[in-house]
């Protein structure tokens, strides 16, 4: 029998479905030394914690009792993040996507040819992401083999759960930032996969992910080779950009004139599978939405980036994805998005859904009468706080393939968690708690809508404390 390493008593909040929160008050949770949740018992009074543990035969373990204004939530999952862009966040806002890549991003990412630069930046990245409660991230690296090794090793050392992908780019990029051939790109990709599986053989924290940047920067030969790798290795996830902006879509289809849409293009190369993480998906036809559903692909919704870089205010049809049963998570797309905060991603997901609800009712944006007819009488496009919280936690875990380990609190799951503290002593600018006491749901809403990293006082990954803001560890 596995012995518990610690016990915690307090309020836990997680998603039981995309539209429902489960609030577990006065809950006693025990966690093993390996970071697995051993037991979960709600409605245990503070005075009876020791008695309940003794009845379970659990003795001599540290017990932490959360204070009023504190609660635990699952760690945040960032389903789309460009690791080498940590230093360029906020630059080039308002630019069209291809101009932004040429003018801002490619020169910055080219610096990662220097492994020492990668070591310096990636250490800052992992610290900064953990501080903001991102316990799991799906990272695009640069195209450099050694720098991608550094990214994987840094995540493992820092204790962050992550998918790590070397970017594949063998055309339509500047000479100083482009791979010489598809063969060279595939060889470097295989080296990165070997490195990741060597440093973490069981994939307990870091796993490899195939990462064609997008079809514009990949030859047909490279896309075909990556699709074959995905087919031959069922453990490999795939991530790419999909229908991000009008400029990108037009450029993509001009390079592949035999296709009328990106869904058919990518699926022809074997890139669309149940292990695919498709970033953005802002301009979608009903045909493409159905195809993503039928192929089991996941969507990384990046509302901050879609409002600030790309060329226009783009509001992805997230509500329709959810209605169709497509898995959706949130991504910061740092630095396409200026913010690496998942709290901002949740807020912006709400805002863009409200805009879509007001500006594009019944899919007026697509002029698709069949979809409008099909959705007649539907509940509209606006998301709820429950839905964006789900996408930031459990939904995101499903998209990146970690949902059997994390995303909720349950016996057998791993303890990836944030201790949130909304008390005035945190010196944050969040809405203060009511003197008579807020309900747990009101505290969560105040945190999501007005909190920041000052309210995230402890961060745990697989039971390990990976960030603390000067309070006693659990």
CATH number assigned to the domain comprising residue 259: 3.20.20.140
Residue 63 belongs to domain spanning: 4-74+408-468
Q: Are residue 279 and residue 327 in the same domain, yes or no?
A: yes
- Give the torsion through C-alpha atoms of 229, 235, 236, 241, to 10 deg: 130
Structure tokens at 247: 């400029």
Q: Are residue 88 and residue 66 in the same domain, yes or no?
A: no
- For residue 319, tell me if it sits in a domain: yes
From residue 268, alpha-carbon distances to 112, 327, 451 in Å are 32, 22, 44
Question: In degrees rounded to 5, what are phi and psi of residue 278?
Answer: -105, 115
How much is the pLDDT for 5?
Answer: 86
Residues 6 or more apart from 23 whose CB is under 8 A from it? Answer: 11, 12, 13, 440, 441
Question: Is 176 buried (19+), middle (13-18) or exposed (0-12) by CB count in 10 A?
Answer: exposed
How much is the pLDDT for 375?
Answer: 45
Q: Are residue 80 and residue 144 in the same domain, yes or no?
A: yes
**Structural domain count of the chain:** 2
Q: Are residue 41 and residue 171 in the same domain, yes or no?
A: no
The alpha-carbon radius of gyration of the chain (Å, integer) is 22
Closest CA to 458 of 30, 14, 66, 133: 133
How far apart (Å, rounded) are the C-alpha atoms in residues 341 and 331? 9
Closest CA to 462 of 203, 288, 147, 184: 203
Residue with tokens 């600018």: 429
Closest CA to 310 of 333, 294, 285: 333
Q: Are residue 171 and residue 214 in the same domain, yes or no?
A: yes
How far apart (Å, rounded) are the C-alpha atoms in residues 470 and 146? 35
The CATH number covering residue 432 comes to 2.30.40.10
How far apart (Å, rounded) are the C-alpha atoms in residues 424 and 411? 33
Closest CA to 461 of 156, 89, 75, 45: 75
- For residue 371, tell me if it sits in a domain: no
Q: Are residue 120 and residue 45 in the same domain, yes or no?
A: no
- For residue 216, tell me if it sits in a domain: yes
- For residue 111, tell me if it sits in a domain: yes
- For residue 230, tell me if it sits in a domain: yes
- For residue 275, tell me if it sits in a domain: yes
Residues 6 or more apart from 169 whose CB is under 8 A from it? Answer: 143, 177, 178, 179, 185, 213, 217, 218
Cβ distance 278 to 301 under 8 Å? no
Q: Are residue 44 and residue 185 in the same domain, yes or no?
A: no
Q: Are residue 348 and residue 208 in the same domain, yes or no?
A: yes
Residues 6 or more apart from 421 whose CB is under 8 A from it? Answer: 67, 69, 70, 455, 457, 471
Q: Are residue 16 and residue 126 in the same domain, yes or no?
A: no
- For residue 137, tell me if it sits in a domain: yes
Q: Are residue 227 and residue 95 in the same domain, yes or no?
A: yes
Q: Are residue 429 and residue 390 in the same domain, yes or no?
A: no
Classify the phi-psi angles of 409: left when phi > 0, otherwise alpha if psi is within -120 to 50, otherwise beta.
beta
Query: SS3 sequence, the chain?
Result: CCCEEEEEEEEEEEEEECCEEEEEEEEEEEEECCCEEEEEECCCCHHHHHHHHHHCCCCCCCEEECCCCEEEEECEEEEEEEHHHHHHCCCCCCCEHHHHHHHHHHHHHHHHHCHHHHHHHHHHHHHHHHHCCEEEEEEECCCCHHHHHHHHHHHHHHCCEEEEECEECCCCCCHHHCCCCHHHHHHHHHHHHHHHHHHCCCCCCEEEEEEECCHHHCCHHHHHHHHHHHHHCCCCEEEEEECCCHHHHHHHHHHCCCCCCHHHHHHHCCCCCCCEEEEECCCCCHHHHHHHHHHCCEEEECHHHHHHCECCCCCCCHHHHHHCCCCEEECCCECCECCCCHHHHHHHHHHHHHHHHHHCHHHCCCCCHHHHHHCCCCCCCCCCHHHHHHHHCHHHHHHHCCCCCCCCCCCCCECCEEEEECCHHHCCCCCCCCCCCCCHHHHHHHHHHHCCHHHEEEEEECCEEEEECCCCCC
Q: Are residue 334 and residue 442 in the same domain, yes or no?
A: no
How far apart (Å, rounded) are the C-alpha atoms in residues 209 and 235? 9
258-292 in b/e form (b: 16+ CB < 10 A) is: ebebbbebbbbbbbbbebbbbbbbbbbbbebbebb
Residue with tokens 């543990």: 53
From first to last of its 474 residues, the chain has per-residue pLDDT tens of 566 788 999 999 999 999 999 999 999 999 999 999 999 999 999 989 999 998 888 888 999 899 999 999 999 999 999 999 999 999 998 899 899 999 999 999 999 999 999 999 999 999 999 999 999 999 999 999 999 999 999 999 999 999 999 999 999 999 999 999 999 999 999 999 999 999 999 999 999 999 999 999 999 999 999 999 999 999 999 999 999 999 999 999 999 999 999 999 999 999 999 999 999 999 999 999 999 999 999 999 999 999 998 777 888 999 999 999 999 999 999 888 899 999 999 999 999 999 999 887 544 445 454 444 444 445 789 999 999 999 999 999 999 999 999 999 999 999 999 999 999 888 889 999 998 889 999 999 999 999 999 999 999 999 999 999 865 434
- For residue 474, tell me if it sits in a domain: no
How far apart (Å, rounded) are the C-alpha atoms in residues 138 and 181? 25
């Amino acid at each position: 029998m596995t012995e518990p390493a610690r016990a915690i008593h307090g309020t836990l909040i997680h998603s039981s479905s995309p539209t429902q929160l489960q609030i577990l008050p006065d809950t006693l949770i025990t966690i093993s030394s390996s970071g697995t949740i051993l037991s979960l018992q709600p409605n245990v009074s503070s005075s009876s914690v020791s008695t309940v543990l003794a009845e379970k035969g659990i003795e001599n373990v540290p017990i932490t009792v959360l204070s009023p204004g504190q609660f635990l939530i699952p760690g945040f999952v960032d389903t789309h993040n460009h690791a080498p862009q940590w230093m360029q966040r906020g630059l080039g806002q308002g630019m069209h996507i291809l101009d932004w890549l040429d003018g801002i991003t490619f020169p910055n990412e080219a610096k990662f040819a220097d492994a020492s630069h990668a070591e310096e930046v990636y250490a800052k990245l992992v610290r900064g992401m953990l501080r903001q409660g991102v316990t799991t991230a799906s990272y695009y690296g640069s195209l450099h083999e050694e720098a991608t090794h550094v990214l994987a090793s840094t995540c493992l050392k820092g204790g962050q759960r992550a998918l790590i992908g070397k970017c594949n780019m063998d055309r339509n990029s500047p000479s100083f930032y482009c791979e010489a051939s598809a063969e060279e790109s595939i060889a470097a990709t295989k080296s990165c996969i070997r490195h990741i599986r060597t440093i973490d053989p069981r994939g307990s924290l870091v796993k490899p992910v195939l990462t064609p940047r997008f079809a514009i920067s990949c030859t047909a030969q490279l896309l075909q080779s990556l699709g074959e790798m995905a087919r031959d290795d069922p453990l490999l996830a795939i991530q790419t950009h999909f229908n991000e902006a009008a400029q990108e879509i037009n450029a993509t289809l001009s390079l592949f004139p035999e296709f009328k849409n990106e869904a058919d293009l990518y699926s022809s190369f074997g890139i669309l599978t149940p292990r695919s993480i498709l970033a953005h998906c802002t301009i979608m036809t009903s045909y493409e939405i159905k195809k993503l559903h039928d192929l089991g692909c996941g969507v990384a919704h990046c509302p901050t980036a879609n409002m600030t870089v790309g060329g226009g205010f783009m509001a992805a049809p997230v509500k329709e994805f959810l209605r169709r049963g497509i898995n959706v998570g949130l991504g910061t797309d740092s630095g396409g998005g200026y913010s690496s905060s998942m709290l901002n991603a949740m807020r912006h997901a709400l805002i863009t859904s409200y805009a879509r609800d007001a500006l594009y009712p019944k899919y007026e944006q697509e002029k698709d009468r069949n979809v409008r007819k099909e959705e007649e009488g539907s509940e509209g496009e606006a998301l709820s706080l429950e839905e964006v919280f789900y996408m930031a936690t459990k939904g995101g875990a499903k998209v990146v393939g970690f949902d059997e380990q994390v995303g909720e609190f349950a016996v057998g799951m791993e303890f990836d968690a944030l201790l949130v503290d909304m008390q005035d002593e945190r010196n944050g600018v969040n809405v203060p708690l009511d003197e008579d006491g807020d309900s747990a749901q009101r505290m969560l809403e105040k945190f999501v809508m007005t909190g920041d990293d000052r309210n995230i006082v402890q961060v745990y990954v697989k039971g390990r404390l990976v960030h603390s803001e000067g309070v006693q560890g659990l």
